Amino acid sequence: MRGGTRRADKAAQSRGEVPLRCVRIEPGVLHSCSLDCPASTLDPSPSTITSTTDIQAARSISSPTITRPHTLNTFAMSKTGDFEAVKKDILAVLKQPEYDDGSAGPVLVRLAWHASGTYCAQSDTGGSNGAGMRYEAEGGDPANAGLQHARVFLEPIKEKHPWITYADLWTLAGVVAIEAMGGPQIPWRAGRTDFADDSRLPPRGRLPDGAQGADHLRHIFYRMGFNDQEIVALSGAHNLGRCHSDRSGFEGPWVNSPTRFSNQYYKLLLKLKWSPKKWDGPFQYVAKAPGADDDDEQLMMLPTDYSLIQDDKFRPWVEKYAEDRDAFFNDFSKVFAKLIELGVYRDEDGIARADKMKQYKGEYKSAPQKPPVPGAPGAGKDGEANPLARQNRIAHQQLNAKARL
């Protein structure tokens, strides 16, 4: 048998093919061997297994300084359609001691959100289909800064379950993370596809700009088909995570338990005394957390967050969700499920139909690289760009003035 395998290997090599090999994985180390060798005599030569084109595309826009977790046997292929196995592996990567607050959960929620929030109901373009962040045109959008961390956390899962699309994996990860952090169960259905290239991506400028106000929120969310109540409910995702000055330009967590899903965000919006942060960065609000010392980290709110209690139509929903956790969880579950379905066309049986999905087909010009002062998303096509906030404009002007000196 072994001689036959060697002859087959030589024949394959003569045809320019790579002989089939098996692998064993240790933490951080990958070894390979001939398929017929006993486990005790594994050849520690480099594996001949290569990544798929999609995996290479995802890695090409991921930070090279990030260490990928080695907690999964990335080549132990699962059964096609075994989403429960995928969920278990997502749960396994949530704990990240060296990442923000020890958890990958919040950034996975943000990935699912941003992967879906480019939808335009009028043109029926954008949305969760396509997994466009694998390409520089979308992955390099300043509005998506930092999401390479989320994609890297999920990459071993994609390798272990190659049958799942990135678009399905990213949205499923957000759903699993929310529930794991104490949030509601959110309905999720498979069927999203991955684009083969970046020719059908929507233009930049469709994601929310935290430096804006209520009018901007309505412009962005009405375009996707959400109403005022749904805008306030979706904003509750800010119960999770934190801002980073090297990504969005803003800094700090919204709540003092940023890895636990709750209605604390609404309570703090109403309860705390928010004041402008005194710093060189973009305009944001800060307040001392309840029971915190003067030298403890301050909580923050974006201008878009604060607009929810300034606007007469938004504020009643903030008050309702602050008082009624169950009502918030129920509404958030519905609206997040709606968000991650945007851009996915399903037939009467609920089956996704890729042949019916529309995507942006106009001339696409890749937006510029991340500006020297992070903040507002990059501008898209005329009429779709989000205007920069005054504070960000001033910061850019100051930098340009210094550059000319």
Q: Which residues contact residue 175 at a Cβ distance below 8 angstroms, ignoring those fewer than 6 apart? A: 112, 186, 188, 336, 340
**Helix, strand, coil share (%) of the chain residues, nearest 5:** 40, 10, 50
Asked if 113 is an active-site residue, the reply is: no
55-207+341-370 is a CATH 1.10.520.10 domain:
yes
Predicted local confidence at residue 9, as pLDDT? 47
| Burial readout 208-230 (b: 16 or more C-beta within 10 A, e: otherwise) | bbbbbbbebbbebbebbebebbb
Q: What is the pTM of this model?
A: 0.72
Predicted local confidence at residue 359, as pLDDT? 56
Say which of 113, 114, 161, 216 is annotated catalytic. Answer: 114
55-207+341-370 against 214-339: fold identical? no
For residue 285, give the 3-state DSSP assignment.
strand
Predicted local confidence at residue 114, as pLDDT? 98
DSSP 8-state code for residue 120? B
Cβ atoms of residues 243 and 300 within 8 Å: yes
Backbone angles phi, psi at 38, to 5 degrees: -70, 155
Considering only CA atoms, which of 395, 384, 390, 399 is closest in space to residue 143?
A: 384
Tens digit of pLDDT per residue, the chain (405 long)? 444 444 444 444 444 433 333 333 333 333 333 333 333 333 333 332 233 333 343 333 333 333 344 444 444 567 999 999 999 999 999 999 999 999 999 999 999 999 999 999 999 999 999 999 999 999 999 999 999 999 999 999 999 999 999 999 999 999 999 999 999 999 999 999 999 999 889 999 999 999 999 999 999 999 999 999 999 999 999 999 999 999 999 999 999 999 999 999 999 999 999 999 999 999 999 999 888 888 888 999 999 999 999 999 999 999 999 999 999 999 999 999 999 999 998 988 888 887 766 655 444 333 333 333 322 333 333 332 233 334 434 444 444 454 444
Output the DSSP codes for 286-340.
EEPPTT--TTSPPEEE-HHHHHHHHSTTTHHHHHHHHH-HHHHHHHHHHHHHHHT
Q: Which residues contact residue 113 at a Cβ distance below 8 angstroms, ignoring those fewer than 6 apart? A: 174, 237, 339
**Angle, CA 392 vertex, CA 121 and CA 220 arms, to 5°:** 10
Output the DSSP codes for 72-95.
S-TTSPPPTT-HHHHHHHHHHHSB
Element (H, E) at 252: strand 252-253
Going from the C-alpha of 319 to that of each of 147, 274, 324, the distances in angstroms are 31, 17, 9
Asked if 114 is an active-site residue, the reply is: yes
Cα separation, 80 vs 97, whole angstroms: 31
214-339 is a CATH 3.20.20.70 domain:
no
Cα separation, 256 vs 149, whole angstroms: 22
- CA 232 to chain centroid: 20
How many residues are present in the chain?
Answer: 405
Q: Which residues contact residue 224 at a Cβ distance below 8 angstroms, ignoring those fewer than 6 apart? A: 117, 119, 120, 121, 339, 342
Predicted local confidence at residue 351, as pLDDT? 85
Domain chopping of the chain, boundaries: 2-50, 55-207+341-370, 214-339
Say which of 113, 170, 254, 317 is annotated catalytic. Answer: 254
